Amino acid sequence: MRSALASVRAQSSKCGVYNHTAPGVNMQYIADKRAKLEPPTHDNTTGPVSSKHWDEEWSREDLQHSADHHAMNTWGPSRPLGSAILVDRAEGVYVYDKEGKQYLDWTSQAICSNLGHSVPPAVKEAINKQLDRVPMVYGGIGATEVRLRLANLMSEICPGDINGFVFPTGGGEANEAAIRMARRFTGKHKIFNQYRSYHGGTTSTLTATGDFRRWFAEQGATGFVKMFNSQPFGFTWGDNDEHKTSILLSMLEEQIRMEGPDTIAAIMLESIVGAGGVLVTPKGYMEGVRALCDKYNILLILDEVMVGFGRTGKTWGFQHFEGVIPDIITSAKGLSAAYMPIAVVGVRQKIKDFFMDTPMGWGATFANHPVAMACAYECVKHTLKHDLIANSAAFEPIMVEELSKIVERHSSVRQARAIGMFGCLDLVGSDANNLQEYQSPQSPKTQEFRKAMFANGLWGLFRPPLLHCAPPLVITEEELRDGFQRLDKALESLDH
């Protein structure tokens, strides 16, 4: 005997109508609710949505109310959002608030706005053209021309046999995919990561992270083993690069042997530590890690989310280390100059070949998004055409010169370092120790300094005791030196 539902279907099909609504649903109620969501034709709505959502401009009071009651922050508490600077527009290397005050973007937002805030015409054109042509294709069921073009371009700017590419939506996703690929390719589970590192906000990548943010993952994921950086906070490995490298590599090899090489899928490092303080490893260290990976059949994953696409004066940060080619590379930020959310994972030929007939086991709806890829494709070409990578390398001496002046002038600065257009200051308190613990809430003194930065028209990523200096790669020498002058004045509030 057919069910009642089957009977209804059979009857309704005769007239070409099939009502999917379950018994008891009030269709008039649904129609009324839908009507309330239509743009109102009068000043005040009687429904749940305010007419202001169709206004071009909001009052300051409306914006403040939303900041206080609805919008939320991510890594930090949400209450400060109510007093945050409200950005109104941006141009070149500057951002402007609602009152028209100008701020020099001292850290390219989160080390991502590499091309500044004036979108190149070719990038705008590519985005609009892709929107008109085909705005979305799910990568699991179809390909687009721009996906194939971008993958080909990436193969040309990556050294060695890094030939296979997938395009997630952000750096955390890229690292998540890299971890998954390493485990599936090797059949092993453990991933080594450094303490002074950050790899993303998903459960796996946050557990892979070494800095305090991994604590937010609570129990986290399994299989992640921590190793020390070559630049610890409270001690030193030796007096010179040769000594440091020898000790570090010996310690790492012992960790590998004690954990069991047959259990380790990959060693995953930031080529140059970014959020942890612009840390460059001592001479020979990265080369030694590559050799240990080869010796014990372990993959090397290099996280280039921050430093890829010219930030350090080379296309990739790992190109500062002779002969080092990762098995898997991840990057994001500079790929699209932050105009669109997109990232990239690149793999060497042996890994690409493996996944030709084996599922990667990772995916996302918006991975390989055609509009984001169109944006990225033009941004990479713009970077190459205007030789911004060479520009980054050429400005390194100016970065070092100006940072040296800052260290000399200010008692609140212990030391500084820079590679390309990527610099960082270490700030100290009156006791010559770190200004505060990295994971602690900002003290009244650091809050005072942040206000001084804004007062001097300087906008920057500030996680005390670290202060990054990484303006857009399109900055001029005059603008760069002006930024250091603004920083010089702001640091007076920290001196003791």
Contact status, residue 221 vs residue 204, Cβ threshold 8 Å: yes
Q: Band the pLDDT of 416: cuts 50, 70, 90.
A: very high
Task: Quick: pLDDT tens for 79-127.
Answer: 777 777 888 999 999 999 999 999 999 999 999 999 999 999 999 999 9
Share of the chain above pLDDT 70, in %: 90
**Mean pLDDT in residue range 433-445:** 80
Residues 6+ apart with CB under 8 A from 267: 191, 192, 227, 289, 292, 293, 298, 299, 300, 301
CA-to-CA separations, 220 to 19, 171, 208, 404, 436, in angstroms, rounded: 46, 19, 9, 41, 26
pLDDT(8) > 50: no
Other Cβ atoms less than 10 A from the Cβ of 257: the count is 10
What confidence score (pLDDT) does residue 15 get? 46
Average pLDDT, the chain: 90
Other Cβ atoms less than 10 A from the Cβ of 224: the count is 23
**Mean pLDDT in residue range 462-481:** 96
Task: Quick: pLDDT tens for 152-167.
Answer: 999 999 999 999 999 9
CA-to-CA separations, 125 to 90, 129, 196, 374, 386, in angstroms, rounded: 19, 6, 40, 9, 18
Strand partners, 89: 96
**Mean pLDDT in residue range 293-300:** 98
Q: Band the pLDDT of 13: cuts 50, 70, 90.
A: very low
Lowest mean pLDDT across 82-86, 219-223, 240-244: 82-86
Residues 6+ apart with CB under 8 A from 44: 51
pLDDT(437) > 90: no
Closest CA relative to residue 111, chosen from 333, 310, 379: 333
Q: Give the H or E element holding residue 270.
A: strand 264-270
DSSP state of 490: H
pLDDT(30) > 80: no
* Structural domains of the chain, with CATH: 21-56 (no CATH), 79-117+391-491 (3.90.1150.10), 121-385 (3.40.640.10)
Task: Quick: pLDDT tens for 193-211.
Answer: 999 999 998 889 999 988 8
DSSP states of 98-128 as a string?
A: TT--EEEETTHHHHT-TTTTS--HHHHHHHH
Other Cβ atoms less than 10 A from the Cβ of 146: the count is 25
d(CA 423, CA 399): 7
What confidence score (pLDDT) does residue 80 get? 73
Q: Band the pLDDT of 139: cuts 50, 70, 90.
A: very high
Q: What per-residue string of b and e applies to 332-342 under the rule 16 or more CB within 10 Å gives b? A: bbbbbbbbbbb
